[in-house]
Amino acid sequence: MLYYIVSFLLIVSVNESIVFAQKLSKSENDFSLQEKLVIGNKEKNLLLEASSVVQASSGEILVSDKLNYSIKKFDNLGNKIVEVGKRGRANSEFRGPNALDVYKDIIAAADFASSRVQIFTIDFKHLKTFYAPGPIHDLAFDPNGKLWLGVLTDTKGKNLFQYDIDGKQLKHISLKNSKEDVFDNMFSFVISNSGKIAIVYNYFNKIEIWDIHSNFITEYVVEGVIASAKKKTISTGLFSKIDLPLGIVFQDVAVDNKENIFILSSDYSTNQYRDVYVYNTNGKYVYRFTLLAKASQVWINQQGELFTIENKRTIVKKYRLNNFSKK
């Protein structure tokens, strides 16, 4: 039931969103973004609706294409090598692939608004299918190859789970800012090379830092960003109501190999879906910059190159960050 409620309300939220922009401090863009690669601009590498992008250690780029019901693999020049998937619920089929990550030669993929996870080799050989306790909104491998899932459940505090690639649940972390509200429990997260987990809540301004051993490190807010999304109360039945957010505070998060956390703001920033705030894993402010185009996802490889999903999720771009030297 939770899956159907969340899916319906997410659609309503997008259709009825109201933008409340806050004035930000003076721009700090004294460096440049250099475009290095575009995927989705040619007939042989078209994307219908990209949901997630990651790069394997071999250099191959993986993109989940939700409307094409597939995961596509490209070389480092943007040429499509192969893809897997079609619409369905069997192994190697998808209802709409969403969150995606890769660890060495292992790929993990979850369907949109679904509890199902599929594990593949880098060559798309299907290894395992298993199910989380609720719809998965994000996932990531840790440095030890364990898979972490951000999950919507009916139980407060049970939203971040660790699994092995065979689908065995190992443990969960009870997040400090977990709430009863469905939307307030939605978050994006990343895991650094040292095993630090950065939790970025989507509908209110709070960042939590943990490690993969379940130790809490710190929490902080992003200065200059609204405290929480504006809400509207709507009826979902004769005696039930829900507070529907009218916009998203933070869209996504990425981490580089220097432990810098890149937080992509959303509806409540001056440059919607373009302003990126950079903090370290100890909660210290580092920098802020603005993307060249609106993005729905950011991801950073081990070389410090920035990947974005742009143009209504039909384009993946790779950028080089030049003169990003402030500490």
- The amino acid sitting at 308 is T
Q: How far apart are CA 80 and CA 35, in angstroms?
A: 19
pLDDT of 23: 33
Q: Tokens 């065995």, residue?
A: 168
Q: What is the DSSP string of 215-226?
A: -EEEEE--TTS-
Q: What is the DSSP string of 87-111?
A: BSSSTT-BS-EEEEEEETTEEEEEE
pLDDT of 241: 80
pLDDT of 238: 67
Fold adopted by 2-322: Neuraminidase (2.120.10)
Which H/E stretch holds residue 11? helix 2-15
Closest CA to 83 of 94, 64, 70: 70
pLDDT of 187: 97
User: Is 0.85 surpassed by the pTM of this model?
Assistant: yes
Burial class (CB in 10 A: 0-12, 13-18, 19+), 144: exposed
Domain boundaries, the chain: 2-322
Q: What is the DSSP string of 254-305?
A: EE-TT-EEEEEE-TTSSSTTTEEEEEETTS-EEEEEE-SS-EEEEEE-TT-P
For the chain, which ranges sit under pLDDT 70?
A: 1-31, 238-239, 323-327
Which H/E stretch holds residue 9? helix 2-15
